[in-house]
Amino acid sequence: MSDSVLAGVWARITDLTIERGEGTWVETADGRRYLDATAGIAVCATGHCHPKVVEAIREQAGRIIHAQVNCYHHDLLEPLGRRLRDLTPPSIEKFFFSNSGAEAVEAAIKLAKQFTGRTNVIVFTGSFHGRTHLTGAMTTSKATYRLRTQPVPAGIFAAPFPDFVRYPDEDAEIDRCLEQLDFILDAQSAPSDTAAMIIEPVQGEGGYRPVPQRFMNGIAEICRAHGILLIIDEVQTGFGRTGTTFAIEQFDVEPDIFLMAKGIASGMPISAVGARAEIMDSWVPGSHGGTYGGNPIACAAALATIDVVTDPEVMTGVTARAAQLRGALDELAARYDGIVDVRGLGLMLAIEFADPSTAPTVMKECFERKLIVTTAGRNGAAIRWMPPLVITAAELAQAISIFVDAVDAVLG
């Protein structure tokens, strides 16, 4: 039995204890260095300890650490909100800050229910929206997140998400999923009871599966026809991860509510809910809040992070590194029948293996070669790539070389 006083609930990718990090690298106390292609689960968009972010945190910590928003505002709340308003879709006009992606989802659902007066929410199979009791009910990527917690909160209905690996006729699969969505509205959750639909532009834990354009358009049309709010969950896809500031820029839809976290502040805990002004203004004052939401140090880190990831040179680098990685993964897939798919957007890419046991074995081989990657998907059959956006061509080439060696060792 371990003598650790820490809960054992965290699922561990590695057994490393990290002492420091810089850019794409993390380092242990005894000097072992690892290439980190997880970026803290897509959080460290600027890499570990980016100097501009570090300096912003240091400067703000010397001014004020905690300025609770019920008691008084601080001078970074409005600037961060205005910066987000400039970056998000035109429909998104006002913002609420909390601490994590799951909190942002919870807030969005409360907001949608208050605005519409309706009770139900539609999610999509393979989704990940969090691990709290409500967001766990909304998450369908793995049964683990609901293990021994049933019954979960009611009013959540799961519609199918297109799966082109199992159903390769893409048009037929999109039609099937849209028909099933209509069926849910006809037979399970009437439009008059349905407050919102929530979807990730690229599924995260669900295996890095991008939403097909026609499917996204169909969802938006159904929402408009029935007065259902469309919530876009960009917790993992935001802030340059997919090659644009937000993934929604690659889809011709306007969200009603918009969720951001992870890459927003390079590791400081902050998330944001954006919404149409009429929706945000419908919130009853005092009906939602949070002690730490909009923390000034987190806001400072967010503003610095946004400056870094929106730099044209950084975004050009993301495009180039995405092409470099996608090309290497496609080439690897062409060599092995045991690889069934390569997919994703930008530096949010996955490679799926036919045998679910292959991915964790490859992950272990990568770790032994000093590369940290992790799995995704219902059966953990895919390995996902989410390196810092500032990864260099040489670093990525080194990571790819390690990964190819690992796959060769397992499948060769």
**What is the rounded CA–CA span in Å between residue 253 and residue 257?**
12
Residue 129 host element (H or E): none
Both tokens of 23, joined, read: 């850019």
N- to C-terminal Cα separation, the chain: 38
**Domain 18-49+312-411 belongs to what architecture?**
Alpha-Beta Complex (3.90)
CA angle in degrees (0–180, nearest 5) for 20-23-24: 95
CB 332 within 8 A of CB 407: yes
Both tokens of 367, joined, read: 């770790």
Q: Which residues contact 221 (CB under 8 A, 6 or more apart)?
A: none
What residue ranges of the chain are covered by domains with CATH 3.40.640.10? 54-309
Beta bridge partners of 371: 35
Torsion region of 259: left, alpha or beta (phi above 0 gives left; psi -120 to 50 gives alpha): beta
What does DSSP assign to residue 143? G
**What is the rounded CA–CA span in Å between residue 386 and residue 375?**
11
Both tokens of 40, joined, read: 């803290």
What residue ranges of the chain are covered by domains with CATH 3.90.1150.10? 18-49+312-411
C-alpha distances (whole Å) from 404 to each of 12, 25, 35, 320, 371 are 23, 19, 15, 20, 11
C-alpha distances (whole Å) from 29 to each of 17, 26, 32, 54, 364 are 8, 10, 8, 21, 21
CATH code of domain 54-309: 3.40.640.10
The full DSSP string for 8-44 is S-SPPS----EEEEEBTEEEETT--EEEESSHHHHT-
- Nearest 10 degrees: Cα torsion 344, 350, 354, 355: -150
Both tokens of 323, joined, read: 């092409």
pLDDT values of the chain reduced to their tens digit, one per residue, 412 residues: 578 999 988 888 898 999 999 999 999 999 999 999 999 999 999 999 999 999 999 999 999 999 999 999 999 999 999 999 999 999 999 999 999 999 999 999 999 999 999 999 999 999 999 999 999 999 999 888 888 988 999 999 999 999 999 999 999 999 999 999 999 999 999 999 999 999 999 999 999 999 999 999 999 999 999 999 999 999 999 999 999 999 999 998 999 999 999 999 999 999 999 999 999 999 999 999 999 999 999 999 999 999 999 999 999 999 999 999 999 999 999 999 999 999 999 999 999 999 999 999 999 999 999 999 999 998 999 999 999 999 999 999 999 999 999 999 999 9
- Establish whether the linkage from the previous residue to 387 is cis, with ω within 30° of 0: no
What does DSSP assign to residue 132? S
